[in-house]
Chain A
Amino acid sequence: MGSQPVERHLCIPGKTENLEFIRNFVSGMARKAGFNDKDVNKIELAIDEACTNVIEHAYRDTGEGDIDIDVEYDTQKFKVVVADQGRSFVMEDIKIPDMEKYMAELKVGGLGIYLMRTLMDEVDYRSKPGARNEVRMVKYLPGKS
């Protein structure tokens, strides 16, 4: 029983008003998985950033289209997949900003992916253009990476 993974799925309209619900959904599970407050906050923020990117970029703020969130965790790791059927992008094309330069130039936006990569242990992106985009994020329980 103890080592069986726990899986939950959430399908929710891609609207910013749903971000709070999404954060509560994910942080509740992260807490159950055994993360401390600091790590729960990191996971919550990373998932918010992924969903905000979907809402603003994949669905271009139209409010049309769903976000599928799959959470799976066991005693080793916590995995979240955020998927959409909107406009795709190639993650490799998005350069991780040189933060000092970036902040010095006071640029707005585009920080979501930087944050996701900083907050989680693994982040990767898969896309079937026109069908489905997926961001897969993993965080290991302390001492399990």
Chain B
Amino acid sequence: MSGFEVKRKDVETISVIYLKGYLDAHTAPDFEKSLQTLVDEDRIRIVVNLAELNYISSAGLGVFMGFIEDIRNKGGDIKLAELTEKVFRVFDLLGFPVLYDILENEQDAIAKYEEG
């Protein structure tokens, strides 16, 4: 029983990951695994949709931080979309808005890749 779910949808060269439930030290390894799978498949234009994520701790933020450098070095990115106010506050506390593209909705995040 885990209050966490990861789903994936591929839209041409972009992969969207949907996180649902809570992302903490217990569930972070599941998210890590799904990002690792994308990197292994060389699908590094990633959007993470957080509409249904209702909790994140530093263990979850650490997953984003653990992958971003490698993914950017390879020419990809991780863009975030549809954060709830509660989850955004935690990202904001740690200065994420300066370092990550955070978009209102998934379509905007996908479009951002298409802009180049």
On chain B, the residues within 8 Å of A17 by CB distance are: 26
B69 touches A52 (CB 8 A): no
What's the count of A-B pairs with C-beta under 8 Å? 63
Secondary structure dominating the interface of B: helix
Please tell me if B103 contacts chain A, counting CB pairs below 8 Å.
Answer: no
Chain B 38-69 interface mask (CB, 8 Å, partner A; 1/0): 00000000000000000101110110011011
Q: Return B48 CB to nearest CB of chain A, in Å.
A: 16
Chain A 100-131 interface mask (CB, 8 Å, partner B; 1/0): 10011011110110110011000000000000
Taking residues whose C-beta sits less than 8 angstroms from the other chain, chain B's interface range is 20 to 34
| Chain B residue, CB-CB nearest to A18 | B26
On chain B, the residues within 8 Å of A106 by CB distance are: 65, 68-69, 99
A138 to B81, CA, bound (A): 34
Chain A 6-50 interface mask (CB, 8 Å, partner B; 1/0): 000000000011011001000000000000001001001100110
On chain A, the residues within 8 Å of B95 by CB distance are: 99-100, 103
On chain A, the residues within 8 Å of B94 by CB distance are: 99, 103, 111, 114-115
On chain A, the residues within 8 Å of B5 by CB distance are: none
On chain B, the residues within 8 Å of A103 by CB distance are: 65, 94-96, 98-99
| Chain B residue, CB-CB nearest to A115 | B58
A112 to B22, CA, bound (A): 17
| Chain A residue, CB-CB nearest to B3 | A20
On chain B, the residues within 8 Å of A64 by CB distance are: none
| 7 further contact pairs, Cβ within 8 A, besides A45-B57, A49-B57, A115-B58 | A103-B99, A106-B65, A108-B62, A109-B58, A109-B62, A111-B94, A114-B94
Residues of B bordering A, CB below 8 Å: 3, 22, 24-26, 55, 57-59, 61-62, 65-66, 68-69, 86, 89-90, 93-96, 98-99
